């Protein structure tokens, strides 16, 4: 008797959302398409995998009616796999990183592949949709306003952080030290006004369309920059020391060739590690952990270091990156073309990341998945994102 091993498969939010929408369609042929896909999933022992990040994005639809319908669909699925929370329940990518840190702490010389294998062993909980979401969707609907606020904040962050209006990422620390002087007074005010206007005009073109109050967003950002920089340093060298201290970066990790972009990435990734390590209440010290052995950390560090450029920076880019990171643990992950291109570039720039990623395929709609995977499921080789 042949042992059938279920395949853990992650879908993009748009693919999952369209499947649910088709399931509830008033058009017979569209409902049939959704039912046929469900039958295909069931007959091929596919287990759809979810994380808290994915559920959040699903229910952050503008319509509460659509959000309820999506939750009910998930709740009525017979079998799912979901990321475990560090304290039980439903987990996010932060929980994945926490488990990686815990596994990396078991040995000084553990490799990234070993951490991945140890984490994968106990990462997923398998059960029904009702076991995942509970007997009622109401608790999820009650916290939906918090999730909507979080999603809006993500749009604002992406709109600002990924703007290239004032690009100083390549400025080296050594260039700051050898700078001539620090601007002050009216000269500084004029420079800040120029920067503010440049950012505003740039995000008008490249910012997420769902961020409506872009001018107020830029003003708030510039005010926070001024507050953060106060009091102004007297010399360029003092300014460098101030930047290092406020970023909380260990000087041993920086050199004169380190750029401001490097510092920002180091700060962002260290904060991510601290959040993940501290969230479990174990008092873990991340300084002793070899970051090269953490798969999820390395994946996000690669995304941040490559600095992808898009015509429009969407808040959903962050969620798409969360989903793509599940390719480390899901057997097969489906992404959109935009994310597939990011992964292609990551694999070229970071071969060590390519080695820990499982199959990834770009598809525009869930109903295209069976044809994409047909050769894979029949034992033939299929090339994913290359």
pLDDT for position 129: 95
Q: 47 and 126 share a domain?
A: yes
332 with 349, same domain: the answer is yes
136 and 160 fall within a common domain: no
Does 382 reside within a domain?
no
User: Is residue 299 located within the same domain as residue 316?
Assistant: yes
Domain extent for 71: 7-152+286-377
Do 177 and 293 fall within a single domain? no
Does residue 2 sit within a domain?
no
Do 168 and 254 reside in the same domain of the chain? yes
**What pLDDT, on a 0 to 100 scale, did the predictor assign at position 251?**
59
Q: What whole-number distance in Å separates Cα of residue 23 and Cα of residue 18?
A: 8
Contact 67, 141 (CB under 8 A): yes
Residues 16 and 161 in one domain: no
Residue 207 domain-assigned? yes
* Dihedral (CA of 296, 299, 305, 309) sign: negative
Please check whether residues 238 and 321 belong to one and the same domain: no
CA distance 123 to 3: 22
Q: What are phi and psi of 358, to 5 degrees?
A: -85, -170
**Is 269 a domain residue?**
no
Q: Are residues 206 and 141 part of one domain?
A: no
Residues composing the chain:
386
Both 122 and 213 in one domain: the answer is no
What was the pLDDT predicted at 3? 46
Tell me how far apart the 2 most distant CA atoms of the chain are, in Å. 81
Nearest CA-CA partner of 34 in 76, 68, 64, 82? 76
Domain annotation covers residue 383: no
Task: Spell out, as residue ranges, where the chain has pLDDT lower than 70.
Answer: 1-6, 165-184, 228-229, 232, 236, 239-240, 243-244, 246-257, 259-261, 263-264, 279-288, 375-386
The CA R_g of the chain, rounded to the nearest whole Å, is 23
> Considering only CA atoms, which of 193, 199, 216, 195 is closest in space to residue 164?
199
Residues 89 and 147 in one domain: yes
Pairing of strands 46-50, 7-10: parallel
Q: Per the domain annotation, does 226 fall within a domain? A: yes
Supply the pLDDT for residue 378. 57
pLDDT at position 386, please?
36
Q: Crossing angle of helices 112-121/295-306, nearest 10°?
A: 120
């Amino acid at each position: 008797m042949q042992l059938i091993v279920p395949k853990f498969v992650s879908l993009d939010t748009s693919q999952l959302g369209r499947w649910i929408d088709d399931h509830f369609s008033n058009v017979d042929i569209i409902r049939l398409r959704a039912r046929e896909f469900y039958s295909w999933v069931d007959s091929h022992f596919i287990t759809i995998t979810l994380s808290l990040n994915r559920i959040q994005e699903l229910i952050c639809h503008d319509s509460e009616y659509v959000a309820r319908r999506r939750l009910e669909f998930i709740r009525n699925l017979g079998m799912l796999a979901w990321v475990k929370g560090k304290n039980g329940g439903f987990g996010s990518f932060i929980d994945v990183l926490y488990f990686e840190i815990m596994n990396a702490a078991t040995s000084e010389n553990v490799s990234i592949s070993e951490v991945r294998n140890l984490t994968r062993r106990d990462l997923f909980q398998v059960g029904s949709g009702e076991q995942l979401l509970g007997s009622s969707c109401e608790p999820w609907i009650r916290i939906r306003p918090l999730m909507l606020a979080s999603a809006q904040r993500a749009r604002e962050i992406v709109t600002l952080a990924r703007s290239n209006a004032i690009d100083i990422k390549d400025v080296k620390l050594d260039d700051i030290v050898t700078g001539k002087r620090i601007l002050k007074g009216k000269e500084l005010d004029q420079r800040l006004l120029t920067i503010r206007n440049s950012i505003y005009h740039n995000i008008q073109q490249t910012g997420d369309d769902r961020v409506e109050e872009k001018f107020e967003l830029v003003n708030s950002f510039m005010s926070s920059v001024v507050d953060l920089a106060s009091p102004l340093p007297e010399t360029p060298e003092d300014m460098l020391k101030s930047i290092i201290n406020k970023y909380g970066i260990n000087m041993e990790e920086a050199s004169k060739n380190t750029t401001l972009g490097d510092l920002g990435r180091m700060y962002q990734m260290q904060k991510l590690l601290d959040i993940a390590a501290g969230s479990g209440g174990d008092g873990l010290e991340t300084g002793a952990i070899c970051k090269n052995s953490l798969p999820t950390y390395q994946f996000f560090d690669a995304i941040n270091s490559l600095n992808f450029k898009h015509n429009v920076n969407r808040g959903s880019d962050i969620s798409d990156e969360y989903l793509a990171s599940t390719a480390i643990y899901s057997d097969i992950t489906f992404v959109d073309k935009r994310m597939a291109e990011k992964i292609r570039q990551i694999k070229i720039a970071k071969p060590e990341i390519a080695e820990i990623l499982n199959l990834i395929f770009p598809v525009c709609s869930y109903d295209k998945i069976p044809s994409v995977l047909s050769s894979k499921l029949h034992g033939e080789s299929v090339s994913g994102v290359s």
